[in-house]
A and B are shown apart, each in its own frame.
Chain A
């Protein structure tokens, strides 16, 4: 498969580009922030995403979705990134859809996701840095399980109808085995989600679970064998964040290159200065490399390749590095105006920082690659 979008994917990209730019441009984020909207996103927009078919991209046709893949989901995510659109698309239609896939819970939650009525969130992190460690306990209780512990950085966790929670059912905190994945409804007794507004105006929850009881059918995958399902959801989530990061980095870069052509000092466009040309060209090169890494990860995921895991970590790490460079360079090359709240470029800086951290930063993924390579 050639490493570029095919005709159908290109058409989807054009559709998504127009749709997101029209309905959720940066001004949309600004208005949500300025109104201090408690949800942090627009439910109307989420409905529209569903009407466009976007929320069903990764859901099979037999279940009412489009039965497409990660390349297509990424096409939408790149536009979300480019426009900084607040949307539960990544957590719900990508990460949670993968976590739920093949389980009885999929039948329960997919219809709402397809309709743009349901929001889902992934509750994985237990510390400030993303780690493989799972300490939140789940013990057998009657016909089901009782969960106790805490999670953080759960994007949309305060409004999610269902939370995908990774819990420890056996073994030590750092063991790969002994993890079980649960679909916990938002209204479960003992579950508290405290919303925290983040740097980029998005809202993530800190969760506490105190003796939250769920039925046995809340288990996704096998008891003690949830790592496989968690890994599948994380591969999808990481690839999705990487695609969104490409959009954020490209959006900031495009703004900046436009500014270099238009802003005049010393009587000429500042983009005619070689010092800035070289910085812009270097940035472009980094973003192109990152973009290729993301497409490769998406294609390998869609092909079910064994090489996908490595490619996903490369994509997440490389987009973290490249987009971080992009937003830094963008503020610098805009000069003073880049520091103002009124100008949009600062929003890109903030979103990039949040996404760079999500599901593991560049250091986490570089370390992961090193371990996989035996050093």
Chain B
């Protein structure tokens, strides 16, 4: 047996013994997802809290981060095995976190040793929940046009301005934020800073979306004092950090194109509403054909995601590849939810009933409409692919 075989066997045994049965059930609602943070109440879901604690103790909430920063210190091959073994028992992700998927990689790349030691372990164990202050009312696709300002005040900055589409700003403990430290240059006048959302002068206002939920906020800064020690990378070099982080964000969002392991709610939903014909096929042949062709794309995209991760770990991925992944993954996710609504028929239209779990399907369908907007629109991703991968000339 190779070392990897041994690792796989040990991992399988450990997961079998330690993953609570409740944490092997599919995620059905937002409340099934653990985000951690200061407002997180472990008593609200004891198996979830136990699962987070056990995984965090091994560093397996962030298996490929160094052990010094709360990670598992696993190699890419071991990380892949852990993910495969978790998928095999349909184990839930113990911790969902923008700290893990976005800020962490940027800190590992650009943070000072002190910054890494301060923030990474708290991300890894779910102690601090982060939000992302990027978009502004007048800086969406043209992100570098952002205006929120950070005035130099000696050992600290005074931050003023407004962010928008800040995911879960009202539930987050800290924010990683792009601010303007110079008006001399557009991209070259941006800095990347971190601060506590409890700082005086920070306020948030949830935005009610078409789904009826408010996952996003407007976030206001009114003379917020931010120590310069909280700046990541050099002053006016924040755009480098922002772009690097966006790559990871797009990678995360592209994961939405992937089906959750094992079950297929789209097919199950269609069977429930239209039934089967005498050969056992979905009784609506056109819906069946659309689902089957969608599944071809979804399964092919799963292969692409695997390839992308393998290439990324080996340092072989094109730096603009996350844009392609984000584009394809989000468009697929929208298509999946359109089909789920078609499969559900009028059952899927109910908005409040218990039968529809409070309109969960319809709300999720509406939520997916943002997938191809947030983190850079599909059109922006296509621009990036055209220019940076295909090297087509500028307009």
Stretch at the interface among A94-102, A126-134, A200-208, A284-292: A284-292
Known: A2-B310, A362-B293. A373 touches B264 (CB 8 A): yes
Within 8 A of A (CB), among B160-209: none
Q: Please, which residues of chain B bring their CB within 8 A of the CB of A288?
A: 304, 324
**Bound-complex Cα distance A362 to B391 (A):** 31
Within 8 A of A (CB), among B4-27: none
User: Is residue A371 contacting chain B, with contact meaning CB distance below 8 A?
Assistant: yes
Q: Is the CB of A292 within 8 A of B307?
A: yes
Q: Is the CB of B393 within 8 A of A292?
A: no
User: Is residue B327 contacting chain A, with contact meaning CB distance below 8 A?
Assistant: yes
Q: Is the CB of B296 within 8 A of A317?
A: yes
Residue among A257, A314, A363 making CB contact with B300, cutoff 8 Å: A314
Interface on B for A, CB 8 Å cutoff?
264, 267, 270-271, 276, 280-282, 288-289, 291-293, 295-297, 299-301, 303-304, 306-308, 310-311, 313-314, 316, 324, 327-328, 379, 381-383, 385-387, 389-395
Q: Please, which residues of chain A bring their CB within 8 A of the CB of B328?
A: 285, 289
Q: Please, which residues of chain B bring their CB within 8 A of the CB of A282?
A: 327, 382
Q: Please, which residues of chain B bring their CB within 8 A of the CB of A375?
A: 267, 270-271, 276, 280-282, 288, 291
A296 to chain B, nearest CB (A): 4
Can you spell out 28 A-B residue pairs with CB atoms less than 8 angstroms apart?
A2-B310, A4-B316, A261-B393, A268-B395, A271-B392, A272-B394, A272-B395, A274-B383, A277-B382, A277-B387, A277-B392, A281-B386, A285-B328, A285-B385, A288-B324, A289-B304, A293-B300, A296-B303, A296-B307, A311-B299, A314-B296, A314-B300, A317-B296, A363-B293, A369-B296, A369-B299, A370-B288, A370-B292
Q: Please, which residues of chain B bring their CB within 8 A of the CB of A314?
A: 296, 299-300, 303
- Counting from the closest, the 4 A-B pairs by CB-CB distance are A277-B386, A293-B300, A281-B385, A3-B307
Q: Is the CB of A281 within 8 A of B267?
A: no
Q: Is the CB of B395 within 8 A of A295?
A: no
Q: Please, which residues of chain B bring their CB within 8 A of the CB of A2?
A: 310-311, 313-314
Q: Please, which residues of chain B bring their CB within 8 A of the CB of A317?
A: 293, 296
Q: Is the CB of A370 within 8 A of B385?
A: no
**Bound-complex Cα distance A4 to B307 (A):** 7
**Bound-complex Cα distance A2 to B292 (A):** 27
Q: Is the CB of B281 within 8 A of A370?
A: yes
B394 to chain A, nearest CB (A): 6
Q: Please, which residues of chain B bring their CB within 8 A of the CB of A369?
A: 292, 295-296, 299
Nearest-neighbor residue (CB-CB) of B310 within chain A: A2
The total of interchain contacts (Cβ-Cβ below 8 angstroms) comes to 144
Residue among B276, B324, B387 making CB contact with A285, cutoff 8 Å: B324
Within 8 A of B (CB), among A281-309: 281-282, 284-285, 288-290, 292-293, 295-296
Q: Is the CB of A365 within 8 A of B383?
A: no
**Bound-complex Cα distance A371 to B291 (A):** 12
Q: Is the CB of A373 within 8 A of B267?
A: yes
Known: A257-B390, A288-B304, A289-B304. A362 touches B267 (CB 8 A): no
Nearest-neighbor residue (CB-CB) of B309 within chain A: A3
Known: A272-B395, A375-B288, A375-B291. A278 touches B379 (CB 8 A): yes
Q: Is the CB of B304 within 8 A of A293?
A: yes
**Bound-complex Cα distance A273 to B382 (A):** 12
Given A261-B392, A289-B300, 17 more A-B residue pairs with CB atoms under 8 Å apart are: A3-B310, A3-B311, A4-B314, A260-B392, A268-B395, A280-B386, A281-B390, A285-B385, A288-B324, A292-B308, A293-B300, A293-B303, A293-B304, A296-B307, A314-B303, A366-B289, A366-B292
**Bound-complex Cα distance A262 to B304 (A):** 31
User: Is residue A211 contacting chain B, with contact meaning CB distance below 8 A?
Assistant: no
User: Is residue A310 contacting chain B, with contact meaning CB distance below 8 A?
Assistant: yes
**Bound-complex Cα distance A269 to B282 (A):** 49
Known: A4-B311, A281-B385, A370-B281. A292 touches B392 (CB 8 A): no
Q: Is the CB of B295 within 8 A of A289?
A: no
User: Is residue A68 contacting chain B, with contact meaning CB distance below 8 A?
Assistant: no
User: Is residue A18 contacting chain B, with contact meaning CB distance below 8 A?
Assistant: no
Residue among B292, B308, B386 making CB contact with A278, cutoff 8 Å: B386
Q: Is the CB of A3 within 8 A of B303?
A: yes
Q: Please, which residues of chain B bring their CB within 8 A of the CB of A318?
A: 296-297, 300
**Bound-complex Cα distance A313 to B292 (A):** 11
Residue among A280, A321, A371 making CB contact with B392, cutoff 8 Å: A280
Q: Is the CB of B392 within 8 A of A257?
A: yes
Q: Please, which residues of chain A bring their CB within 8 A of the CB of B390?
A: 257, 277, 280-281, 284
Q: Is the CB of B291 within 8 A of A293?
A: no
